[in-house]
Structure 1
Amino acid sequence: MHEVSEENSEPEISREQLAEYFGDAFPAVDRFAERLRDEGELRGLIGPREVSRIWDRHILNSAAVVPFLPTTGLIADIGSGAGLPGVVIAAMRPEAEVYLIEPMERRCAWLAEVAEDLDLSNVEIKRGRAEEYHGAFECDAVTSRAVAALDKLARLSLPLVRAGGEMIVLKGRNVGREVEPARKVLRRLKGSEPEIIDAPTLPGVETTTVVRIVRQTGAR
């Protein structure tokens, strides 16, 4: 069993465990973690208390959504920010096309640098807000992490999802409280009943809450 030695330190995770979990994606993900650790605080991407917990709080937390995403097709990460989860997804889903949608120029610059450094040829950066791209393209899946409450997130995300595609987002443990206020917008946008999933990664690492909503056929 893994132990946390102090409040803000990372659980004891070996590189062997990480390499096995990420497989072929590990070199790229490892480099991404290194860059976040070295530059993330300086560039305003993560807080100072997060630097020591890059793997469990950010990388593995982001990776938890990947098993629920398609292996091919178009995936969009809205409010991509530091590239969490979008960069992790791109590394772990090399056969998919991944759009990183981010309104802030300096964060788009960071994402472009990282995509080039990690040789992620499946990444395309879209500078702007999600709603600016409504009608511009349709995705097989749209994801996000810590962007907005579920009702607002549905308004941003579902118009980007093709009929039969999915909105698959990382949320906090209390997301159940957000479901009822979101029902009206979900009905209007042909979103299914939200499925709340407890998504594990490595032993000793806190599980992640994933919410899956299907955009039902007949959606326009």
Structure 2
Amino acid sequence: MNATKTSLGRALNGQAVSRETAERLEHFAALFSKWAKTINLVAPSTLDDMWNRHIADSAQIFQMAPRPMIWADLGSGGGFPGIITGIFLAELGSGWV
């Protein structure tokens, strides 16, 4: 999780995430890893670096809108960035439309 926190910290301009958010992200990462091998959600070559390539990369959107209230998901491949931003929005008491 240290590499995870480092990646997320960079993506979020050094802001820490709560324990609950970290647990949700870890749960998502475990499920994603399990199913990505079965149904090819992302390129297999990116799975070993999922925290940097997909999760932290998706979290970067909060640099542009650090306190969003409502977002609309117009379709996200493999759940990125939609599920990741949804996890962060839950911490802020916001959500998706």
Structure 1's unaligned 5+ residue stretches are: 1-12, 100-220
Equivalent position to 2:95, from 94, 97, 115? 97
Q: How many residues align?
A: 87
| C-alpha distance in 2 between matches for 1:61 and 1:29 | 13
When the two structures are superposed, what TM-score results if normalisation uses the length of structure 1? 0.35
- Verify the 8 A CA contact 2:58 2:84 in the aligned structure 1: yes
Give the structure 2 partner of residue 34 of structure 1. Answer: 30
Residue 71 to residue 78, structure 1, CA distance change in 2 (3 Å) = same
Identity of aligned residues (%): 22
User: Cα distance 1:89–1:34, how it changes in 2: closer, same or farther (>3 A)?
Assistant: same
Between 1:66-75 and 1:89-98, the stretch displaced more is: 66-75
**Counterparts of 2:61 and 2:40 in 1: how far apart (Å)?**
24
Amino acid in the other structure paired with 1:57: R
SS at match of 1:71: coil
1:82 corresponds, among 56, 73, 78, to 78
Partner of 2:53: 57
Distance 1:49 1:16, change over 3 A: closer
Structure 1 consecutive aligned stretches of length 4 or more whose deviation exceeds 6 Å: none
> For each residue in 1:85-138, what CA deviation from the matched residue of structure 2 results, as whole angstroms up to 9, or x when unmatched?
111111111111213xxxxxxxxxxxxxxxxxxxxxxxxxxxxxxxxxxxxxxx
Partner Cα separation in structure 1 for residue 5 and residue 95 of structure 2:
27
TM-score, length of structure 2 as denominator length = 0.72
Q: Compare relative contact order (CA 8 Å, sep 6+) and give the higher one, 1 or 2.
A: 2
CA distance in 2, matches of 1:67, 1:17: 16
Whichever residue aligns with residue 95 of structure 2, its letter is E
3-state SS in 2 of match to 1:82: helix
Partner SS for 2:95: strand
1:22 to 6, 14, 17: 17
Cα RMSD (Å): 2.4
**Contact 2:36/2:42 (8 A) holds in 1:** yes
**C-alpha deviation, 1:42, in angstroms:** 1.4
For residues 102-181 of structure 1, the aligned pairs below 5 Å read none
Normalized per residue, the structure richer in helix is: 2
For residue 73 of structure 1, report the CA deviation from its aligned partner. Answer: 2.9
Structure with larger Rg = 1
Instruction: Work out the CA distance in 1 between the residues paired with 2:4 and 2:57.
Output: 18
Segments of 5+ residues of structure 2 without an aligned counterpart are 10-15
